[in-house]
Amino acid sequence: MNKHKLCQYLVDEFCLKKGKEINWGLEIKAAKKLVSMFPEPLFWQTLSRKVMPPATSLLIFHAKENLYELGKLHEEFVTLQLDLTPPPLQPLSKEKIGEDKEIPPQKPTNIFEFIRS
């Protein structure tokens, strides 16, 4: 979901006004600010209307109290999304796979290679 589609989703999901009643310029601008603060589409899709009820405008979500609530919900979302378990270790086999390639010794081509050898 690209940024513009996400902004449209926010306007459709969290605005009480529908259709021609919506001031799209104002609402999309407010949605862009919200998306820039919390860019994960899954966060907005899992945010239910019970947690953040629909409002007449998305500008209500820019109030300090609502931004604080959104920040707390985002922190919970991020901590639930983190997988802190280490990946399983791959057991090493005792048998050798493949063959070693023989590299013949080369004569030094310059003074530095001569000194190193």
- The pLDDT of residue 104 is above 70: yes
Distance, in Å, from the CA atom of 41 to the CA atom of 5, rounded to the nearest integer, reads 10
**Span 56-103, pLDDT tens digits:** 888 888 889 889 988 998 888 888 876 656 678 878 777 878 888 888
Do 13 and 61 contact (CB within 8 A), yes or no?
Answer: no
Inter-CA distances, 18 with 21, 46, 55, 60, 113, Å = 6, 21, 11, 17, 77
State the pLDDT confidence band at 34, using cuts at 50, 70 and 90. very high
Q: What is the DSSP letter of 49?
A: T
The single-letter code of the amino acid at 61 is F
Whole-number pLDDT of residue 105: 83
Whole-number pLDDT of residue 83: 63
Query: Any idea where the domains of the chain sit in the sequence?
Result: 3-81
pTM above the 0.85 mark? no
Do 61 and 34 contact (CB within 8 A), yes or no?
Answer: yes
Token pair recorded at residue 57: 């405008």
**Span 14-31, pLDDT tens digits:** 888 777 788 889 999 999
Whole-number pLDDT of residue 33: 94
Whole-number pLDDT of residue 49: 62
Distance, in Å, from the CA atom of 57 to the CA atom of 31, rounded to the nearest integer, reads 10
